[in-house]
Amino acid sequence: MSPSFPRPFAYEGARLLCSGSSLEALAAEHGTPLYVYSADAIRERAGMLQAGLADVPHTICYAVKANSALAIVQMLGEMGCGFDIVSGGELERVRRACPEALGRVVFSGVGKQVWELDAALEAGILLFNVEGEGELELLSSRAVALGKTARMALRVNPDVFAETHPYISTGLSDHKFGIAIAKAREVYRRAMTLPGLDPAGVSVHIGSQIRSTEPFATSVERVGQLVAELRADGMDIRYVDAGGGLGVEYGQVPWDPAASVQAYATAVTGAARGLGAHLLLEPGRFFVAQAGALLTRVLYVKQNGAKTFVITDAGMNDLIRPSLYQAHHEIWPVVRSGRSEQTVDIVGPVCESGDFFARDRAIERVGPGDLVAILDAGAYGMSLSSHYNTRVRPAEVMVDGDKARVIRRRETFEDLFAPEVV
């Protein structure tokens, strides 16, 4: 295994490449901060999961919120993927990038509004993942009003503990998501009596960045028991949606994603196979996290007290994961200089002490003008970006084969100020 495995970012001599393309050249052409993604890396991950599920009827519904770029939605749609959406805006992304995939959309989220339900009913999506009784009533009335039948599942809360960051753990009974599994049978019975609803599935999603397969297996087993009960109650349950959450290795530890997918597929299919149901999965991070990096240029290096700060032109508005989740990202020089290592804080220009990418990190000594790559930034990077400090969002480039193309241009002040009125 090469030191960068399983990332598409690797050194050739002193220079860091993305699937063979020079990051130095991309930064020179498109400026920084710049998101760079490898199309091959995304396709490879999607292919791994498709292969792992080959012997069970399934649809992979990529979680659009992980990275919502139209180009990525289109690419995965063309591979046969469906989509997990959490808003009317994400539905619109699927419509624009890959309208033929609208029938493979599942709609999750605790706060769906009337216009969003209506748009999804009109689009004829595959499944509504209903997260509460109020939503159930509303979905029924909107389906009746539009003369549609809504295929739906309840998102049940299996009360499984998945060891991850508290902000991204969702499967415990005291989280805002879903309906307690113990109460689900009763709510499904209510769904059966409401017009315009077709209770067709059961859904779970226990959290994100989950590295062990046990919680997945346990939650699908619990779903299996519920499916049996619902069928006994006369419901035609055809879908089991096992959610997303498969994690990646953000550190330096060698890690084989293919083995990880295999273990995950075994865990979810093992429990689902006996049910004779169509399996739905909602991976986000696993497909895109390691396919992307954020390139940034060092502006200044300064000493305050005992600390050395490397100040970059990217900030927390471009990539918030370190600030929000204390997430670790590897940060590598784009051109290795062979200088000695120095322990530094790598920080952005935003006026917040929480604006950092790494603290007390030993990296090869860098100076003003040098480029560094913040790795594994393909998921929950650009999609969580903001204009905070009135900063335009970075451009995004997709490396595909020996070509690199801009999939989102850098924003301009015109883009930024267009909605405002004085």
Active-site residues, by number, are 351
Q: Does 378 bind ligand PLP (CB under 6 A)?
A: no
- Residues between 101 and 120 that touch ligand PLP (CB under 6 A): 108
- 3-state SS class at 287: helix
Instruction: Give the per-residue contact string, 77-96, with ligand PLP (x = CB under 6 A; - = no).
Output: -------x-x----------
* Count of residues in contact with ligand PLP, rule CB under 6 A: 17
Q: Which is nearer to ligand PLP, 33 or 284 (CB)?
A: 284
- Residues between 177 and 206 that touch ligand PLP (CB under 6 A): 205
To ligand PLP, the closest distance from the beta carbon of 208 in angstroms equals: 3
Give the C-alpha separation, 142 to 150, whole Å. Answer: 9
Q: Which residue is nearest to ligand PLP (CB)?
A: 284
To ligand PLP, the closest distance from the beta carbon of 348 in angstroms equals: 24
Q: 210: number of CA atoms within 13 Å, CB side?
A: 28
Q: Are strands 278-281 and 239-241 parallel, antiparallel or unpaired?
A: parallel
Q: Can you say how many angstroms the Cα of residue 96 is from the centroid of all Cα atoms in its chain?
A: 19
Instruction: Give the per-residue contact string, 263-302, with ligand PLP (x = CB under 6 A; - = no).
Output: -------------------xxxxx----------------
Q: Looking at this protein, which amino acid is placed at residue 218?
A: T
Q: Which residues contact 143 (CB under 8 A, 6 or more apart)?
A: 121, 149, 150, 195, 196, 197
- Both tokens assigned to 372: 């560094």
Q: 372: number of CA atoms within 13 Å, CB side?
A: 25
Q: In this chain, which of 66, 220, 275, 319 binds ligand PLP, going by CB under 6 A?
A: 66
Q: Which is nearer to ligand PLP, 164 or 312 (CB)?
A: 164
Stretch of residues binding ligand PLP (CB under 6 A), selected from 20-28, 58-66, 298-306, 336-344: 58-66
Stretch of residues binding ligand PLP (CB under 6 A), selected from 62-70, 222-230, 251-259, 383-391: 62-70
Q: Are strands 292-304 and 34-38 parallel, antiparallel or unpaired?
A: antiparallel
Per-residue burial over 299-317, b if 16 or more Cβ lie within 10 Å, else e, is: eebeeeeeebebbbbbbbb
Q: Does 208 bind ligand PLP (CB under 6 A)?
A: yes
Per-residue burial over 90-123, b if 16 or more Cβ lie within 10 Å, else e, is: bbebbeebbeebbebbbbbbeebeeebbbbbbeb
Q: In this chain, which of 243, 257, 333, 381 binds ligand PLP, going by CB under 6 A?
A: 243
Interaction site with ligand PLP (CB under 6 A): 63, 65-66, 84, 86, 108, 205, 208, 243-246, 282-286
